[in-house]
Amino acid sequence: MRTEQYLDPEIETMSPAALRQLQVQKLSTQLDYLFARSLFYQDKFAAAGLRRADFRSLDDLARFPFTSKEELRESQLASPPLGRHMAADMVDVVRLHSSTGTTGRPSFVGVTRKDAQCWTNMTARSFYTQGIRPSDIVIHAAGLTMFVGGLPSKDAMELIGATFVPLGTGASEKVVLYARSLGANVIHCTPSYAIYLAEYIRREAKMNPRDFGIKKLVCGAEPGAGIPSIRAKLTEEWGARVTEGLGNADMGPIIFGECPEQTGMHYCGQEYVYTEIIDPETGAVLPIESGVSGELVYTSLERECVPLLRFRTRDRVSILATSCNCGRTSYKMRCVGRTDDMLIVLGVNVFPSAVRDIVSSFYPQVTGEIQILLDQPGPGVKPPLKVVAECANGSADQPVLKKQLEDKIKGMLTVPASVQLVPAGTLPRFEMKGQLIKKLYEG
Ligand SMILES: [Zn+2]
């Protein structure tokens, strides 16, 4: 059954109790597979003194060890190309993807035919939740090669029946040309790129982005589209409805998607990825309830090539609701930043995206572009926090605006800041993910 409102009505409106029952069945089978096929997990379970019989209910999962990105990296170095956590035969792997982490060394992810199908279903559900329908013409202005958000997005859009236009990155000229001649009404890209593209259109095409006919901006790959001031700017620039999705290079292309209510991203991986929210310091599992914040942890439920158990994403999320006017029964959340990016000033956790949010709230006096300057490696930062912000027009010598920005940062985040204003267009623009931190030190 497929209705206009849901791609998978049964799963998307399932009661929490029925979903848990389905998930415990799936996880039992996945654990059978890990105990039988994964050398990586056989070692980890043995080290923790765990047997297969120790898992009987979803609550038992908390007894099992976490998996970190560092472990996956070491596993791949020790056993290339896919690592000791690869649990399928290479002959069954139909495609490879990679992500480049902070170390610059690519880490690879493989999918079997069945894994690819699961990714397609989950990603399509996230897009459909965001309001993509068969009549849409979608410009994909994000990475296509190797990136997990590339080809799987094509598969997912095709499953829905939408028209996928694979433009990729670094092709702003083509976006301008094609979007209008093809009558595209959707752009799928990062929020940084959506801002960049609007500026590009004003500058190069001498047009208002609103006249482009884009009705839906489907954003992802970095936080931003959910930050109120950035969302307001995107909505105003494009005259389009902005929604966002979230996935993970090691687990799935898009696992969460925001419905047109625009009040947070629905969990869309019900039968493919089990999620936990944990306290990042203690590792304790937190309840999935409104108001809870913590680190997102993923467990695959039916993966063949690289199944992962309790994988720590380093994404910090806040649960916003456990019900929705759209009728979906999955919880909704917002990603507030990454633990990797987090700074600590005078004992206070500061996410660069939160600083950007505060600065952006001064729009249109500012462009919203910022950079935080670090004199030494984080997360500890000696106060004041050094923030470079672009003013929108005129001279950068605006002591009143500078003082207002510093006061607002201090008021909202309780940390002292020193703001340096620079003219519009000074800070580097990033077509892919924005870089909010600039290191002034070597290394
Ligand atoms: Zn909803």
* CA 86 to ligand 1 center in whole angstroms: 35
Q: Looking at per-residue confidence, does 292 or 1 come out higher?
A: 292
Least confident of 43-47, 318-322, 354-358, 427-431: 427-431
Q: At 1, is the pLDDT very low, low, confident or very high (cuts 50, 70, 90)?
A: very low
Q: What is the mean pLDDT of residues 167-174?
A: 89
Q: How much distance in Å is there from the Cα of 413 to the middle of ligand 1?
A: 30
Q: Tens digit of pLDDT for each residue in 385-397?
A: 999 999 987 788 8
Residue 430 predicted with pLDDT over 80: no
Is residue 186 over pLDDT 80? yes
Strand ranges (DSSP E) for 143-198? 163-166, 186-189
Pairing between strand 186-189 and 437-439?
unpaired
pLDDT at 169: 86
Residue 443's pLDDT is 60
Instruction: Tell me, in angstroms, the distance from the centre of ligand 1 to residue 266's CA.
Output: 7
For residue 272, the surrounding DSSP H or E stretch is none
Q: pLDDT digit string (tens) for 111-160?
A: 999 999 999 999 999 999 999 999 999 999 998 999 999 999 999 999 99
CA of 328 to the centre of ligand 1 (A): 6
The answer to whether residue 74 scores a pLDDT higher than 80 is yes
Q: Are 370 and 389 in contact (CB under 8 A)?
A: yes
Provide the pairing of β-strand 366-374 with 385-391: antiparallel
If you measure from the C-alpha of residue 326 to the centroid of ligand 1, how many angstroms do you get, rounded to a whole number?
4
Residue 87 has pLDDT above 60, yes or no: yes
Q: Select the more confidently predicted residue: 230 or 430.
A: 230
Locate the domains of the chain by residue range: 1-339, 343-439
pLDDT tens-place string over residues 247-266:
999 999 999 999 999 999 99
Give the distance (Å) from ligand 1 centre to CA of residue 319. 13
The mean pLDDT value for 359-375 works out to: 90
Q: How confident is the model at residue 357 (pLDDT cuts 50, 70, 90)?
A: confident
What pLDDT score does 284 carry?
97
Kindly state which CATH superfamily the domain 343-439 is placed in. Answer: ANL, C-terminal domain (3.30.300.30)
CA–CA distance, 188 with 160 (Å, rounded to integer) = 15
CA of 335 to the centre of ligand 1 (A): 16
Q: How far is the CA of 99 from the centre of ligand 1 (A)?
A: 30
CA–centroid distance, residue 318 to ligand 1 (Å): 16
If you measure from the C-alpha of residue 363 to the centroid of ligand 1, how many angstroms do you get, rounded to a whole number? 29
| pLDDT of 103 over the 70 cut | no
Burial environment of residue 273 by CB neighbours within 10 A (0 to 12, 13 to 18, 19 or more): buried
Tokens of 128: 């459909």
The answer to whether residues 98 and 146 touch, using CB atoms and an 8 Å cutoff, is yes
Q: Cα of 357 to ligand 1 centre, how many Å?
A: 24
- Structure token pair of residue 132: 């993509």
Q: What is the Å distance from ligand 1's center to 325 Cα? A: 6
Residue 359 has pLDDT above 80, yes or no: yes
Nearest to residue 259, comparing CAs of 307, 314, 329? 329
Whole-number Å distance, alpha carbon 264 to ligand 1 midpoint, is 8
Which run of H or of E encompasses 68? none
Whether the domain at 1-339 and the domain at 343-439 fall into the same CATH topology: no
Mean pLDDT, residues 22-36 taken together: 98
CA of 321 to the centre of ligand 1 (A): 10
Burial of 297 (0-12, 13-18, 19+ CB in 10 A): buried
pLDDT attached to residue 283: 96
- Asked whether the predicted pLDDT for residue 434 surpasses 80, the reply is no
CA of residue 354 to ligand 1 center, whole Å: 25
Residue indicated by tokens 């790959």: 221
Over range 264-275, report the average pLDDT. 98
β-pair partners for 99: 107
How far is ligand 1, taken at its centre, from the CA of residue 436, in Å?
30
Taking the centre of ligand 1 as the mean of its atom positions, its distance from the CA of residue 123, in whole angstroms, is 16
Q: Is residue 417 helix, strand or coil?
A: strand
Q: Which CATH class is domain 1-339?
A: alpha beta
> What percentage of the chain reaches a pLDDT higher than 90?
75
Ligand 1 centroid to Cα of residue 260, in Å, is 7
Check residue 341 and give its pLDDT: 78
> What is the rounded distance in angstroms from the CA atom of residue 106 to the CA atom of residue 343?
25
Q: How far is the CA of 259 from the centre of ligand 1 (A)?
A: 5
CA–centroid distance, 331 to ligand 1, in Å, is 9
- What pLDDT was estimated at residue 368? 86
Mean pLDDT of the chain: 93
Cα 323 to ligand 1 centre (Å): 7
CA of 324 to the centre of ligand 1 (A): 5
Closest by CA position to 31, among listed 313, 309, 310: 309
Q: What is the pLDDT of residue 2?
A: 45
Q: Ligand 1 center to residue 241 CA distance, Å?
A: 14
Residue 143 Cα to ligand 1 midpoint, Å, equals 27
Distance CA 342, CA 418 (A): 18
**CA 265 / ligand 1 centre spacing (Å):** 8
